[in-house]
Chains A and B, each alone.
Chain A
Amino acid sequence: MAARIAGYLGFVLVDKARLAQLSGEMDLDEAGLRKVDKAISEQGEIDAETEACVRLLQDLIAQLAEEQDLVIIGRSTQGLFRDRPGTLHVRVIAPREFRVRQVMVHEGLSERDAKRLIKGMETERARYLRLLYHLNPADPNLYDLTLRVDRLSIDQALKMVVTALDEMGLRQVPRDRIVQDLLPPVPEKRDNGRFANAAEREFAHFLEFYRIPFEYESRTFPLETDAEGRIIEAFTPDFYLPEQDLFIELTTMKQSLVTRKNRKVRKLRRLYPEVNIRIFYQRDFYNLLAKYGLLTDEQVSSE
């Protein structure tokens, strides 16, 4: 149903597969996503790392919403976009027997497994919402529209959603209003030294060691201008290696800020296709340090 609605409206469908694909850009692959889901559904308490990943996903969804019109399935977005303009929250319900039958048919499962799957998903979704927003998914106030799908065809459900969208004038709301104040600002402040953080300092040291000429934050690329031509969004990559004609952006900072940076880099690549830029993720950096034995305390090895 979500796919039909997205197709009809020309919106982008954000489901588990799409999120897995996008999250690959930020150090969180499909296996990482599964790990997060598993941790949420199985544990009473989740560790700080899992929570950071969960919040990172919310950040990613908010960014997507800033860029495109979306149909999103699950992922606690009734909490993320709660009461926000330009959003329609649809709750899809059906009697348990109907849902079990649907799962049995579509997933090829036995009745017992289908029931278990549904129960697991309900628990997982409830935990997500409680963890992130302290909300109960059963609260009817979280939804604008409730559809009992065992009494509706997909076409009828589609018409009801589109009618609600149009009657509420939701498609006229600019996307930046939907996500206003939702995304964290990117701290660009530097510390007392020349570089913004320890990772940049280490990387600069690494370049100096191998006598690779570099410039630090030497060029700013305008990404968006207003009607008067004033720059309202810009991006300054951390390093420029003139001999390689390569910009390098380090993203070893807090995970929740990585997505915003990724979006900027994507935009930069779109606007300046001639610019050669490489993002150095936390994983890349750790690999670099591991190569030189710097992830542990003892003396390093030579090559």
Chain B
Amino acid sequence: MNDKNENIVEVLITQEAIRQRISQMAEEIAAAYRDCLPLLVGVLKGCVLFMSDLVKQIGIPLEMDYIAVMSYGGIHRPTGAARITKDLDCVIEGREVLLVEGIIDTGMTAGYLLRNLEARQPRNIRVCTLLDKEVRRIVKIPIAFRGFKIPDRFVVGYGLDFRQLYRNLPYIGVLSDEVTGLDRNQGTKIFL
């Protein structure tokens, strides 16, 4: 299952390493929420594989829900401001909420969601992410549970996509610059 896709230049985190780390994270989360009923809020779609593997390992009662945010479309594809395209089905006021992300890099999406969810007055809201690309952070995000810190590479797989592809890879891989378009743009003039 770890066979490389032809557009993946490197397997950054193997399926086995992901499995082991998720198991540890699940224990940490279970310990942190042992006295309450947490609501795990997965951020679609990047969280899907991570969330499903994670919750199976958390040995305490919990509830799950999902949320999705419109993605940035660029200056020539005006979409106004970010908005929630799939909201929670439940009320989170007074609840212990754990926001579950597949990856946090600039922190823009997570920051936007935290502001939005905090306005609904949960008792507490914490952040869990499988991957943390801290080197690219613009918005500070307090991460309570982190799987892996990763370098500034363009990663896909295990739920993470490029143009909706590669989510089904069972590992975290580095996508070729030829696919992302980075090879055609480095060192030349910008834009668009």
Using a CB–CB distance below 8 Å, which chain A residues touch chain B?
27, 49, 52-53, 198-199, 201-202, 205-206, 208-212, 241, 243-244, 246, 248, 252, 254-255, 278, 282-296, 298-303
Residues of B within 8 A of A282 (CB): 186-187, 190
Contact with A along B127-160 (1 / 0, CB 8 A): 0000000001011100000000000101000000
Question: In the complex, what distance in Å separates the CA atom of A213 from the CA atom of B104?
Answer: 20
Taking A300-B77, A303-B161 as given, write out 9 further A-B residue pairs in contact, using a Cβ cutoff of 8 Å, ordered by the A residue number.
Answer: A202-B192, A212-B111, A241-B139, A246-B138, A283-B186, A291-B105, A303-B44, A303-B45, A303-B69
Comparing B19-27, B32-40, B177-185, the segment that makes contact with chain A is: B177-185
The interface on chain B, measured as residues whose beta carbon lies within 8 A of the other chain's beta carbons, has a size of 47
Give the CA-CA distance A289 to B162 in the complex, in Å: 12
Q: Which 5 pairs show the lowest CB-CB distances between chains A and B?
A: A295-B181, A290-B180, A302-B71, A210-B108, A301-B163
Q: Which residues of B contact A284 (CB under 8 A)?
A: 136, 152
Known contacts A296-B181, A300-B72, A302-B45: does B81 contact A208 (CB below 8 Å)?
yes
Contact B138 A202 (CB under 8 A): no
- Whether A294 lies near B192 (C-beta < 8 A) is yes
Question: What does the 1/0 interface line of B109-135 toward A look like (CB < 8 Å)?
Answer: 101100100000000000000000000
Contacts A290-B154, A290-B182 given; indicate if A298 touches B163 (C-beta within 8 A): yes
B45 contact set on A, CB distance < 8 A? 302-303
Minimal beta-carbon separation of A269 from chain B (angstroms): 18
CA distance A53 to B68 in the complex (A): 42
- A residues less than 8 Å from B164 (CB atoms): 301-302
Expressed in whole angstroms, the Cα–Cα distance for A92 and B66 within the complex equals 70
- Say yes or no: A209 contacts B79, CB within 8 Å: yes
Question: CA–CA, A244 to B135, complex, Å?
Answer: 15
Q: Please give, as numbers and ranges, the residues of chain B lying within 8 Å of A53 by CB-CB distance.
A: 187
Q: CA separation between A284 and B106, bound complex, in Å?
A: 10
A241 to B137, CA, bound (A): 13
Check B72 against A210 for contact (C-beta < 8 Å). Answer: yes
B residues 42-74 in Cβ contact with A at 8 Å: 43-46, 68-74
A212 pairs with B108, CB closer than 8 A = yes
Determine which of B75, B186, B187 lies in contact with A201 in the assembled complex, contact meaning CB atoms within 8 Å: B75
B71 to chain A, nearest CB (A): 4
Expressed in whole angstroms, the Cα–Cα distance for A202 and B189 within the complex equals: 14
A212-B139, A300-B74 known; A293+B163 contact, CB < 8 A? yes
Chain B neighbourhood of A288, CB < 8 A = 106, 136
Given the known interface contacts A210-B111, A292-B74, the answer about A301 and B188 at a Cβ–Cβ threshold of 8 Å is no
A198 and B191 contacting across the interface, CB-CB below 8 Å: yes
Q: Once the chains are docked, how many angstroms separate the CA of A152 from the CA of B61?
A: 82
Give the complex CA separation of A295 and B179 in angstroms. Answer: 10
Question: What residues of chain B have their CB less than 8 Å away from a CB belonging to chain A?
Answer: 43-46, 68-75, 77, 79-82, 85, 105-106, 108-109, 111-112, 115, 136, 138-140, 152, 154, 161-164, 180-182, 184-192
Return chain B residues, CB-CB under 8 Å to A289: 74, 185, 192
Within the complex, the shortest CB–CB distance from B158 to chain A, in Å, comes to 14
Are the C-beta atoms of A287 and B138 separated by less than 8 Å? Answer: no
Please give the distance in Å from A242's CB to the nearest CB on chain B.
12
- Minimum C-beta distance from A31 to chain B (A): 12
Chain A residues with CB under 8 Å of B136's CB are 284, 287-288
Complex contacts, B139 vs chain A, CB 8 Å? 210, 212, 241, 243-244
Nearest CB of chain B from residue A194's CB, rounded to whole Å: 13
Say whether, besides A205-B75, A293-B162, A285 and B190 are in contact (CB < 8 Å): yes
**B182 in contact with A286 (CB, 8 Å):** yes
A290 to B46, alpha carbons, bound, how many Å?
16
- What B residues does A202 contact at CB under 8 A? 74-75, 191-192
